[in-house]
Amino acid sequence: RLPVEEYREVLCIGLQELAAASREESCGEGSGVEILENKPYTDGPGGNGQYTHKVFHIGKHIPSWFRSILPKAALRVEEESWNAYPYTRTRYTCPFVEKFSIDIETYYKSDTGNQSDVFNMSAAEKRQTTIDPIDIVTDPIPPHEYKVEEDLRLFKSVKTQRGPLRDDWIEEYNNNPGKTPIMCAYKLCKVEFRYWGMQSKIERFIHDVGEKVMARAHRQAWCWQDEWYGLTIEDIRQLELETQLALARKMAQGSVRRRGGLSKGNRQVEFQ
């Protein structure tokens, strides 16, 4: 129950929350997030918008014995995103895995998810597409992810007085449309993993994980609305700039520490 015009703030603040959390893990080449570009674009996906290019360094999360036999290219995932709200596109690639990519297009619409084809897909594309509806209230939450403060059946916003949500919240809206704002995120997720014998299993795994991530992210967006409600786009751009500079400093400091060391006789002892 968020209007489409407000959800743009949710997207931007959500990115800042992710970046802030990543800042704590960023310690140079082995971990964290690096923002390479963050700039406006024209005549691109969705028209005019904001382009960002990030690198996720995942080496810290891989066992050291396994990390030692992998090339550096295998320890990074690149993300490119085009935000022309209410349309966005995000693409993930790994330089080490040439035949792998995840491409996600999103349209944000003021309805309950009853449009059949917002992406204007061809007949062949429709045959290859599986539709998975997500209900952020009734979809099950793994016990280890449950948080009382993110329970939509309990949460009520102080600033907007929205909530709590009932299990029949979508039906309630359809019976009385226009009484409260609402929004649906239509997502078209394309996964490519062209390695014989593994393609179907890996693609299904990614789709399943992606569905859980999207459900959790939108639950959090609802429960965090008191943090982003009322911010202007200028406020958000300033937060983006501050986060980008902070991450760049943290990554640079980590790289210097890794290259530094102490001499012990004729042997160089490097910091790890």
Per-residue pLDDT tens over the stretch 155-209 = 999 998 999 999 999 999 989 887 888 899 999 998 887 777 777 777 777 878 8
127: domain CATH number? 3.30.530.20
For the chain, list residues with pLDDT below 50.
13-29, 66, 257-272
In a domain, 146, yes or no: yes
Which residue reads 């994980």 in tokens? 209
In a domain, 269, yes or no: no
pLDDT of residue 241: 76
Report residue 206 as tokens: 């990614």
In a domain, 243, yes or no: yes
pLDDT of residue 265: 40
Q: Compute the chain's Rg from CA coordinates.
A: 21
Q: For 16, phi and psi rounded to 5 degrees? A: -70, -35
In a domain, 121, yes or no: yes
pLDDT of residue 61: 53
In a domain, 258, yes or no: no
Instruction: Give me the number of domains the chain comprises.
Output: 1
In three state form, how does the secondary structure of the chain look? CCCHHHHHHHHHHHHHHHHHHHHHHCCCCCCEEEEEEEEEEEEECCEEEEEEEEEEECHHHCCHHHHCCCCHHHHEEEEEEEEECCEEEEEEEECCEEEEEEEEEEEEECCCCCCCCCCCCCHHHHHCCCCCCCCCCCCCCCHHHCCHHHCCCCCCCCCCCCCCCCCCHHHHHHHCCCCCCCCEEEEEEEEEECCCCCHHHHHHHHHHHHHHHHHHHHHHHHHCHHHHCCCCHHHHHHHHHHHHHHHHHHHHHHHHHHHCEEEECCEEEECC
pLDDT of residue 6: 67
Which residue reads 């943090």 in tokens? 227
In a domain, 76, yes or no: yes
In a domain, 271, yes or no: no
pLDDT of residue 206: 80
Rounded to whole angstroms, what are the CA distances from 72 to 31, 58, 88, 97, 194? 12, 10, 30, 12, 22
Report residue 191 as tokens: 């996964």
Could you list the residue range(s) of the whole structural domain that residue 173 is in? 4-250
